[in-house]
Chain A
Amino acid sequence: MRKQLDRWLGPLAFVLVALDVWLGLWITPPDQVQGEYVRLVYVHPAVAWVALYVAFGMAGLCSVLYLWPRTRSLAFDYAAAAAVEVGVVFTILTCITGAIWGRPTWGVWWTWDARLTSTALLAVMFLGYLALRRVPAEPHVRARRCAVMALIAAVDVPIVHFSVNWWNTLHQGATVLNANLSPTIHGSMAWTLLLSFIAFTLLFVWMVIARYRLEVLRHSGERKDLDRALSERRAEGAEA
């Protein structure tokens, strides 16, 4: 089952992303108000969904599970690290695609709008998380520090989500995840939008699995190097 998942998840995610691009650029109609610019809706919201809710939700959950004494395991620390790194890539892409969409529709690449500012702040905080991981420390000390940092940063996620309701923002309100849970988009546009969410979520899952394995391999390599150095030092001591 795991081997089947390994074999198919990556190619499936890439095929679905390619299908999303094909539908988004060639099949779906232009919008009455936004014209051709609406085609960015098949990239930007899905990338933002993965960054905000999937990646940082997973990072927050894994951090809680690490800090909880009964479930404490370095596996949760590695999973949180993988989710944050991939999440930061998606957050930066959210900001870039948002800016590309904002220029022709709002007339500016960037504005200090509540949604944009809180999203940029989230990216900076999780970049701080990644920097904190590089500070040399014993694995459990680093894991504890990073879990606390992830939870502090995750507080910004609901602020980003509700920013369009709490403040008078230039960014539009929620179209799909609105208060009534009734998407205000229909037809081929709705299906392509749904496909984009599935495609980018699967791509995220594949990337996180790969990043998690890399983290595990790196740490097991570090442990082996440490054990080798210790045994060499002991052998030197015995000879003396």
Chain B
Amino acid sequence: MSYVIAGYVVTLTSLGLYAGSLIYHLRQAQKGQGDDHL
């Protein structure tokens, strides 16, 4: 079962971190542009 848990943890953590980084960079870029309607 530890392999199964490892598979889920790796997948969810990686996708979560990537999604978080996308949101962060998108907000930074919007601030830089002074454009909040995108």
Contact = CB atoms under 8 A, between A and B. Distances in A.
Size band of the interface chain B makes with A:
20 to 34
Contacts of B12: 17, 21
Given A101-B3, A217-B35, 10 more contacts: A25-B4, A37-B3, A43-B11, A92-B14, A93-B10, A93-B15, A100-B3, A203-B19, A213-B38, A214-B25
Interface of B: 1, 3-4, 6-8, 10-12, 14-15, 18-19, 22-23, 25-26, 29-30, 32-33, 35, 38
Interface of A: 10, 17, 21, 24-25, 36-37, 39-40, 43-44, 47, 86, 89, 92-93, 96-97, 100-101, 103-104, 203, 206-207, 210-211, 213-214, 216-218, 220-221
B7 A21 contact: no
B32 to A, nearest CB: 6
A53 B33 CA distance: 34
